[in-house]
Structure 1
Amino acid sequence: MPVPAPPAVQDDSPAARRREQRGWYLYDWANSAFYTTIISVFLGPYLIPVAKAAACAKDFPSVPAAACSAGFDRLAGENPGLGYVDVLGADIRPAAFFGLTLTVAVFLQIVFLPVVGALADHTGRKRELLGGFAYVGALATMGLFFVEGDRYLLGGVLFVVANLAYGSSVVVYDSFLPQISSPEERDAVSSRGWAIGYLGGGLLLALNLVLYLRHESLGLDEGMAVRICMMSAGLWWATFTVVPLLRLRNRPVPAHETTALASVGGSFRQLGRTLAELRRYPLTLLFLVAYLVYNDGVQTVIGNSAAFASEALKLDKTVQITAILMVQFVAFFGALLLGRLARSYGTKRTVLGSLVVWTVIVVVAMFVQEGAQLQFYLMAFAIAIVLGGTQALSRSLFSQVIPKGREAEYFSLLQISDKGSAFIGSLTVTIALQLTNSYRIAIVSMIVFFVAGFVLLALTNLPRAIRAAGNEVPERI
C-alpha cells in the first residue's frame, strides 16, 4: 500500500502564509551562524595549528611544543619528508588539512543532497527533515568545543558532518519558499530571508568578537575562547531552529513509493528527466555551467579567506573577525548597489563586471603584504561589494531562462549544483597547498574560475535563452 501523504493543509490565507514566512526567515537567521562563525572565521585558522601540533608531536618530539608550533614552517622546510599528518594513511601538510576537509565535505554534499531532495519531495515530511538535519548539524558544531591538542581528525570529522547537515537542511529550507509565498510575494520573501541571515550571522559574530577580544580579562586562554565561539554557533543554530519548526507546515504530496529507498529512486528518476530536458534548452545549460564555474571561485575564496589571512598574512583573529563582520553588513548594501547598476546597465553586464572585480581581488591577494591590516580590510570591502550582488543577480538571471511551471525542479537542481560546485575549487586549493605550501598561490589559482565563468557567460545569448524557455524578454537584461 502507498505511504499516506501528510494531512492536507486547510488554511492558506495571507495571514497563515505570513505566519509561516516569519518562521521561515528565522531559519536563515539560525543557520547563518554556522557559515560566518565556523567556516568564514574560526575553524580554518584553529584547525591548522591543531594539525601542526599533531605533526610536531609525531615528527619533532625533541622540539618544545611552543617553539615547534612557532617555527613549524621552517622546521618542515629544513626536514623534507617530515611535518605531515596522517589522514587515512596519506601524508598531508597541516596547512592543506582544512582544505582537504572542506573538499571531502563538499564532495559528500554532491552525493547526498539529491537523496535529501528525494526524501523531501516524495515523503512531504519537510518539517521533520529540516529539524533532523538542523539538529545533527548543530550538535556536530557544538562538538567542535572538544577539538584541542592534537585532535585534528576529530575536528575534521565533526566539520564534515556539520557541513553536510547544513547543506541538507538548506535544500529542505529553500523548498518551502514556493509553498509559503505567492508568485507576487516570492521575491520579497526570499530577499528578506537572505537579509535576515546576514544580520543573524553578523550579530553572533559580533558577540563572539567581544568574547575573543576580552578572553584574557575573562580568565580564558585563546584556544578556549575560540572553542567557546565555535560551540556558540551550534547553540545559536539549535535555539533559533525551534521557531521555524513550530510555524512551518507540511503539505500533502501524491501517493508515493512504500519505502524510503524506493522514494529516493523515484526522485533520482525525476532528476534524470529534468537533466535530460535541459538538452532542449542548451543556452539555459550554458548559463548554468557558467554560473557553477564562477560561483565555485566565489565560494572557495570565501571559504578559505580566514585561513588565508592567518597563514599567508599572519593576521590575528581579531582582524579576521572584524573583516568578516564588515563583509556581513556591507554585502547587503553591495547587493542593492549592484541591483541598481543592473537596472541602469543590464544584469548580464553587471555580473560580468563583478567577475572582473573578483579577478582583480584574487590577483591583488598575491601582493598583499604580511601583517598589512589596512590592505586586508580594503580587499574584504571589495569582496563585500560584489559578493551578495553576484549571487543575487545570477539567481535572477537563472529565473528568466527556465520554463514556467518547472521553477521548483530547476531551482532544486541549481541548489544541489550550487552546494556541490565548490568541490573543484576546494580540490584546486588543496592541490596548490600540497604542492607549494603557499596560500597566496592557492588563492590566486581561483582566477581560472572567474575568467572561465566570464567567458561562458559572455557567450550566453540571454534574450534567445529567455525566449526559448517561453518567457518574455525584460526591457533590460
Structure 2
Amino acid sequence: MEQKNDKKVIRSWAFFDWANSAYNLVITSTIFPAYYTIITSDKDNNTIDYVTFMGMRFINSALYNYALAFAFLVIALLSPVLSSIADTRGNKKFFMQIFTYIGGLACCGLYFFEIETLQLGVVLFVLAAIGYWGSLVFYNAYLPEIATPEQQDSVSAKGYAYGYVGSIILQLICFVFVFFPSAFGLSPGSQAPRLSFLLVGIWWMLFAQIPFRKLPKGCSDLKKAGANWLTSGFTELKKVWEQLKHMPYLKRFLTAFFFYSMGVQTVMLVATIFGEKQLHLPTEKLIGTILLLQLVAIPGAMLMSWLSRRYFGNVKVLIGVVIIWIFCCIGAYYIKTEMQFYYLAAVVGLIMGGIQSLSRSTYSKFLPQESPDHTSFFSFYDVTEKVALVIGMFSFGYIEEFTGSMQNSLIALATFFVAGLIFLLLLRKVEPDAVPA
C-alpha cells in the first residue's frame, strides 16, 4: 500500500473533483436546467407547462425531478455490485474510468438535445447523472486510503475547492458562448447552450486523466475473489449493516446524513428551475447567481473545516449548518422578490460546500481506520445518499404535481432537515476523533 498523505497523490485525487464538477455546475445547476425549462415552457406565466415523455404527461419540472430520482435509484442498485467487483479485483480506478466516460459521452450527446428530441435528451441526462454519481462511489472510497484521519477534513475540503474552481472556469467559458453567440459564429437560441454541454463532456474526460494516471489501482482481495460478484456487494452491505449495530455513533451519523441529504442535494438540483419558474428570472441572472453561489462555496468549505478543526469539532459544526439549512427552506417558501433570491443563494452557497465536505470526512473518521475494506463502507454511504436523493427528488416532484406549487415542496425539505438535526443532536457530545476504532 502506498504511503498516505502524499501531496502529489492528494492533488491528483482532488483534480477528479476539478474534472467532474463542471458537470455538477453546468448540467445540474445552471445552463441545462435553465435551457430545459425554456424549451419545455409555453412562455405563459399563468399556465402550467406539461411535456409528454414515453407516452405519459408530466409537469415539465416534475419530469426533471423524476429523471434524476430514477438515475439515483439506478446508482443505489448498481453501486453495491460495482463496489464488490472493485473490492475483489482491486480495480476501483477502472470503474471510476468507466463511469467517467459514460457521463462525459452522455454530456457530449446532449449537444443534440432540442424539444424535438426530448426523449433522447432526458435519457442522456439520466446517463450523465449515472456517470457522475457512479464515479463518486469509487472516488470517495479513496479518501481514507490516501489520507490519515487528522488530514481527511482538509483533504476532503481541498477536493471540493478544486471542484468549485474548475467548474467556475468552465462555467465562465460557457457563459461567454451563451451570452455572446454571434461573436463565435453561433446561431442565436439553442446552439450555444448545447455547445456548453459538449464542452462539459470534453472537460470532464480530459482532466480526469490526471487522477487516472496517479491514483493507485488498489489491492485485490483474493479471499473474496471466489464470491458471487452479483450478490456479494449486497452481502457486504448487509455485513456493514451488522457492524453498525456495534458502532452506535456511526449508525446515528448515517441516519442524520440520510435525512439531511434528502434536503441538501434536492435544493441544489432544483434551485435554477425554482428561480426560473417561481420568480421568472432571466437565464443570465440565474447563471450569474449560481456562479456566485459556487464562488461563495469555496471559502464556505474551508471555513467549515477550520471551525471544526480549531473550535467546535465536526458534529457541532454540522448541527449549526443544518439549522441554517432549515431556515433557508423556510425563507425560500416566502421568497417573492429577485433580491431575496440572491440573498438566500449567497447563504446556501456558504453552507453548501461545507456540509458536503464535512459529511464525507466525518464519516471517514468514524470508520475503523485499520480496515482495508473502506470501499464497502463508502458504498453503504453512497447508497444511503442515493436512496435519500431518490426520496428527496421524487417528493419534490410529486408534491409539485399534486399541489401545483414548488413552494409546497420546500416544506417537505424542511422536515427532512429537522429529522437530520434530531439525530445529529444525539451526537453533539461525541466527536469521531474520540471514538475507538
User: Structure 1 length normalisation: TM-score?
Assistant: 0.83
1:166 to 1:404, Cα distance in 2 relative to 1, 3 A: same
Contact 1:95–1:437 (8 Å) recurs in 2: no
Amino acid at match of 2:30: V
Number of the residue aligned with 2:368: 403
1:462 to 1:405, Cα distance in 2 relative to 1, 3 A: farther
Spell out, residue by residue over 1:121-154, the C-alpha distance to the aligned partner (whole angstroms, 9 max, x if none): 1111223222221111100011111111332221
Distance in 1 (alpha carbons) for counterparts of 2:236 and 2:285: 47
Distance in 1 (alpha carbons) for counterparts of 2:145 and 2:317: 31
Contact 1:50–1:150 (8 Å) recurs in 2: no
1:142 to 1:180, Cα distance in 2 relative to 1, 3 A: same
Distance in 1 (alpha carbons) for counterparts of 2:428 and 2:148: 30
Counterpart check, 1:160 vs 2:119: no
Unaligned segments of structure 2, at least 5 residues: none
Number of the residue aligned with 1:70: 43
Q: 1:393 aligns with which of 358, 363, 370?
A: 358
Distance in 1 (alpha carbons) for counterparts of 2:430 and 2:166: 37
Tell me, what secondary structure is at the counterpart of 2:190?
Answer: helix
Tell me, what secondary structure is at the counterpart of 1:315?
Answer: coil
Contact 1:102–1:160 (8 Å) recurs in 2: yes
Spell out, residue by residue over 1:170-209, the C-alpha distance to the aligned partner (whole angstroms, 9 max, x if none): 1122223344445565444433222111111111112111
Identity within the alignment, %: 29
What are the equivalent positions in structure 2 for 1:48-447 lying under 5 Å apart? Answer: 48-52=37-41, 69-71=42-44, 74=46, 84-181=50-147, 186-218=152-184, 219-255=186-222, 262-342=228-308, 343-370=310-337, 372=338, 374-406=339-371, 408=374, 409-447=376-414
Contact 1:50–1:151 (8 Å) recurs in 2: no
Spell out, residue by residue over 1:434-468, the C-alpha distance to the aligned partner (whole angstroms, 9 max, x if none): 1123222223431111112112222336439876x
Counterpart check, 1:454 vs 2:427: no
Report the more deviating stretch, 139-148 or 449-458. 449-458
Displacement of 1:350 after TM fit? Answer: 2.9
Distance in 1 (alpha carbons) for counterparts of 2:177 and 2:366: 47
1:206 to 1:338, Cα distance in 2 relative to 1, 3 A: same
Counterpart check, 1:42 vs 2:9: no
Distance in 2 (alpha carbons) for counterparts of 1:437 and 1:262: 47
Distance in 2 (alpha carbons) for counterparts of 1:75 and 1:297: 28
Contact 1:37–1:230 (8 Å) recurs in 2: yes
1:366 to 1:463, Cα distance in 2 relative to 1, 3 A: closer
Amino acid at match of 1:212: V
Displacement of 1:309 after TM fit? Answer: 1.0
Spell out, residue by residue over 1:362-411, the C-alpha distance to the aligned partner (whole angstroms, 9 max, x if none): 222123225x2x32221111101211222333344434544343482434
Spell out, residue by residue over 1:266-312, the C-alpha distance to the aligned partner (whole angstroms, 9 max, x if none): 33222211111211223431221111101220110001001111111
Tell me, what secondary structure is at the counterpart of 1:445?
Answer: helix
Amino acid at match of 2:357: A
Report the more deviating stretch, 266-275 or 30-39. 266-275
Displacement of 1:258 after TM fit? Answer: 6.4
1:133 to 1:368, Cα distance in 2 relative to 1, 3 A: same
Displacement of 1:22 after TM fit? Answer: 3.3
Number of the residue aligned with 1:60: none
Displacement of 1:97 after TM fit? Answer: 1.3
1:118 to 1:14, Cα distance in 2 relative to 1, 3 A: closer
Amino acid at match of 1:288: L
Contact 1:51–1:151 (8 Å) recurs in 2: no
Tell me, what secondary structure is at the counterpart of 1:357?
Answer: helix
Contact 1:123–1:263 (8 Å) recurs in 2: no
Displacement of 1:246 after TM fit? Answer: 2.3
Displacement of 1:89 after TM fit? Answer: 4.2
Report the more deviating stretch, 84-93 or 208-217. 84-93
Displacement of 1:107 after TM fit? Answer: 1.3
Report the more deviating stretch, 416-425 or 302-311. 416-425
Amino acid at match of 1:243: I
Displacement of 1:263 after TM fit? Answer: 2.3
Contact 2:144–2:364 (8 Å) recurs in 1: no
Displacement of 1:163 after TM fit? Answer: 0.8
Distance in 1 (alpha carbons) for counterparts of 2:94 and 2:168: 27
Contact 1:109–1:420 (8 Å) recurs in 2: no
Amino acid at match of 1:289: T
Displacement of 1:19 after TM fit? Answer: 4.0
User: Structure 2 length normalisation: TM-score?
Assistant: 0.90
Tell me, what secondary structure is at the counterpart of 1:470?
Answer: coil
Displacement of 1:70 after TM fit? Answer: 1.8
Contact 2:262–2:392 (8 Å) recurs in 1: yes
Distance in 1 (alpha carbons) for counterparts of 2:428 and 2:205: 44
1:39 to 1:125, Cα distance in 2 relative to 1, 3 A: same
Distance in 2 (alpha carbons) for counterparts of 1:20 and 1:466: 24
Amino acid at match of 1:363: I
CA RMSD between the two structures? 2.6
Contact 1:365–1:444 (8 Å) recurs in 2: no
Distance in 2 (alpha carbons) for counterparts of 1:226 and 1:382: 27
Count of residue correspondences:
433
Distance in 1 (alpha carbons) for counterparts of 2:379 and 2:429: 21
1:221 to 1:74, Cα distance in 2 relative to 1, 3 A: same
1:466 to 1:268, Cα distance in 2 relative to 1, 3 A: same
Unaligned segments of structure 1, at least 5 residues: 1-8, 53-68, 77-82, 472-477
Q: 2:14 aligns with which of 9, 18, 25?
A: 25
